[in-house]
Amino acid sequence: MNRPRMSLIAALILTTAFAAFTRPASAGSPPAGSWRNKVASDLLAKIDASPAGTQLVDVIVQANGPLSNSHTGTVAAMGGNVKKHLGVINGVSVRLPLYVARVLSQLDAFAYIALDRPVSMLGHLENTTGAAQARTLVPGISSLNGAGVGIAILDSGIYYNTHEITYNTSRITVQMDFGGFGNTTDYYGHGTHVASVVCGTNHIKSGYYTGIAPGANIINCKVLDRTGTGYSSDIIDAINWCINNRTTYNIKVINMSLGAPAVDSYKNDPLCQAVRAAHDAGIVVVTAAGNDGKDQNGNKIYGAIHSPGIEPSAITVGACNTFGTDARGDDGVATYSSRGPTRGYYTNSSGQKVYDNLIKPDLVAPGNKIVAAEAVGCDMVYYHPELNADPTETNQYHYVMYMSGSSVAAPVVSGAAALLLQANPSLTPNLVKAILMYSAQPLAGFNTLEQGAGELNIDGAVRIAKIIKNPLPALANGQAMLSSALPAQSSTISGQTFPWSQAVITNWSFLYGSSLVNNWQGMYAQGTLLSEGTYYSSGQLWENTNDVSSGVMLSDGIHKSDGTSLISGGLLYNGSSVLLANATLLTDNTLLADATLLSDSTLIADGVLLGDTVGYYCPGDTTTAMAPYSGSTGTQ
């Protein structure tokens, strides 16, 4: 039986981990109730349609507590074929008869069961991001290029011979096959392009297509096949391997330019749980937001962030369009880039859907018609020759191609994270994420659910990272974190000066103010979340003073499309269980009144109500016209 497939969209996941970094599955379980609360909604629909069904399905089964032989023995005794152990989430991937899934869900030993969903990819950088001018900002480092930092690329493999990656010295330190493909090369073309955006050399085209971190080390984790298709269990397996081998290869960053439609709440989604385990182990995880930002008529769609981009610990990246210029005054969010809020949910004991409704993406980065390495003979260019960026090139090792999408924006941020970690190795994943948001440039004309904190600004981020104490001592909440004074909170790139956002997103709102970088915040510690700096109670957002020091201000507001932020206009967004209550945008700049209820199963496209399953994809990560998205497969 073939497993259901989903064409690559950009970003991949999944793997087992050290027990020390394994979170009990029960911590993410929905409230107590019937066995139905322990089954993902898409799997539940299959069970309801055929309660006694004997057809085989591929699922991920999570134990209620540490995974043991008793769990796997029970599954096997009921006719399940255990394929992989996914220790990072206390789970296993299993092929079993449909009715067995229902039986297992009624046993206390098991916490949650979800389909092993298909996952797909989502798809001048130096100058426009500020990376070029940041190379000499750190004393003692002659060229800030990510040297020594390991970045795991979970994708369709990497074409080893391209000079963008292997000229003189290969940037690839290890190559792993997690899908049983029998090789780690890139027949599709996506993974090679993504890796080149991260660490492309300056050897070809006079250095015009140099990557963000050309000195970084690449860990090639192949999880997608030559059609850009993969499975959650293989991605979890790769994440698990990265956690277990993070010291050996100095893996500090995982890039996942791929995703699957968000079904489960992040609290139960197996991919999200694997990402959280990597984050808790000290790895920065960068994911693509998705490419479902508009329908076939060009209307904006909200609420289409992909998994695992819905995970709070991940740095979720949307795509912006630079129009090929280094200057940033004309930059804007790409029309196809997925917008928030996140729409994963669980069903409570009363049968109500409880949506996560988190503010995502966290920020945006250049992702439209980006030129980077082309894998020789790859299927993307074979079927879409218009993606060839230089048809006159005769040296096959110098081939370059275009790609567009959040798949391309994500590795830009992964490269930026590597630069920050080279500049200051003591940074925690939360500090890296906070710095990137704090220094981002808010883009006028786009709201928070489109751009997060704003556009990536590597110049500003490095200026902050280099003056954070290194090594970073154990600090109490509110203690001074900088070794020197904070610089002017603005950057000048290609002659244009712009202010930093000075804000950090925390689930449903912003924290803002210079104390966020002047002083240590408890939410920056490893193993915590930035969102622990705020909480929602009795209809109000509150600061958690254990994790946020004095001098930090809490904004109820989100960016409006004129680039300003509503700060004191009442509660705008609270992540309630219903979609689009409390200030989700109805039209581009119209807010719903507090407690106004639309529906718990609709998306909004500039005033047009759409079904929860509506989405669109761009075939082959190209810039061709948008085509209908089937709801189960798609390439961004």
What are the φ/ψ torsions at residue 597 (nearest 5 degrees)? -110, 125
**How many independent structural domains does the chain possess?**
2
pLDDT attached to residue 234: 96
449 and 529 together in one domain: yes
pLDDT at residue 579 tops 70: no
Peptide bond into 471 cis (omega under 30): yes
Question: Is 491 an annotated catalytic residue?
Answer: no
Bridge partners, residue 498, by sequence: 491
Which has more confidence, 621 or 454? 454
Determine, yes or no, domain membership for 13: no
% of the chain at pLDDT higher than 90:
60
Q: What is the pLDDT of residues 72-128, one digit of tens each?
A: 999 999 999 999 999 899 999 999 999 999 999 999 999 999 999 888 655 468 888
Residue range 583-604, pLDDT digits in tens: 333 333 333 322 222 333 333 3
Q: Are residues 102 and 146 in the same domain?
A: no
- Which of 70, 100, 117 terminates a domain? The answer is 117
Active-site position among 116, 155, 225, 264: 155
Domain-located, residue 183: yes
Specify whether 124 is located in the same domain as 113.
no
Considering the domain boundaries, does residue 7 fall inside one?
A: no
| 488 and 602 together in one domain | yes
Q: Do both 112 and 135 map to the same domain?
A: no
Task: Say whether both 155 and 228 belong to one domain.
Answer: yes
* Over residues 14-38, mean pLDDT: 43
Active site includes 155?
Answer: yes
CA distance 624 to 636: 11
pTM for the structure as a whole: 0.82
Average pLDDT, the chain: 81
pLDDT of residue 537: 67
The two tokens of residue 440 are 């981002």
pLDDT at 619 over 70: no
Among 354-358, 442-446, 477-481, which range has the highest average pLDDT? 477-481
pLDDT at 154 over 90: yes
pLDDT at 443 > cutoff 80: yes
Kind and range of the H or E run holding 205: none
On whether both 454 and 513 belong to a single domain, the answer is yes
Establish whether the linkage from the previous residue to 97 is cis, with ω within 30° of 0: no
Check residue 539 and give its pLDDT.
Answer: 60
DSSP per position, 544-604: -TTTS-TT-EEE---B-TTS-B--SSS------SSTT-SS-EEETTEEPPTT----SSEEE
Q: Are residues 54 and 136 in the same domain?
A: no
Say whether pLDDT at 629 is over 80: no
Last residue of a domain, one of 86, 117, 148: 117
- Of 50, 83, 117, the one marking the end of a domain is 117
Domain range for 62: 19-117
- In a domain, residue 1? The reply is no
Q: For 216-228, what is each residue's pLDDT tens digit?
A: 999 999 999 998 8
At 62, which CATH number?
Answer: 3.30.70.80
50 shares a domain with 197: no
Residue 166 within any structural domain of the chain = yes
- Residue 435, pLDDT > 70, answer yes
The answer to whether the Cα torsion of 316, 321, 327, 329 is positive or negative is negative
Residues 75 and 189 in one domain: no
What pLDDT was estimated at residue 244? 98
Catalytic site includes residue 190:
yes
Indicate if the pLDDT at residue 164 is higher than 90: no
Q: Which of 232, 233, 406, 407 is catalytic?
A: 407
Q: Is the model's pLDDT at 454 over the cut of 60? A: yes
The pLDDT value recorded for residue 128 is: 84
Q: Is the dihedral of CA 147, 149, 151, 157 positive or negative?
A: positive
For residue 284, the surrounding DSSP H or E stretch is strand 284-288
Q: How confident is the model at residue 202 (pLDDT cuts 50, 70, 90)?
A: confident
Tell me whether residue 8 is in a domain: no
What pLDDT is attached to residue 122? Answer: 53
pLDDT given for residue 233 in this prediction? 95
| Span 450-456, average pLDDT | 94
- Whether residues 535 and 636 share a domain: the answer is yes
145 and 236 both lie in a single domain: yes
For the domain that residue 229 is a member of, what is the CATH number? 3.40.50.200
Is the residue at 12 inside a domain? no
In a domain? residue 341: yes
* 12 CB-side CA count, 13 A: 39
Of the residues 7, 58, 120, 190, only one is catalytic, namely 190
φ and ψ at residue 110, rounded to 5 degrees: -115, 135
Higher pLDDT pick, 249 / 330 = 249
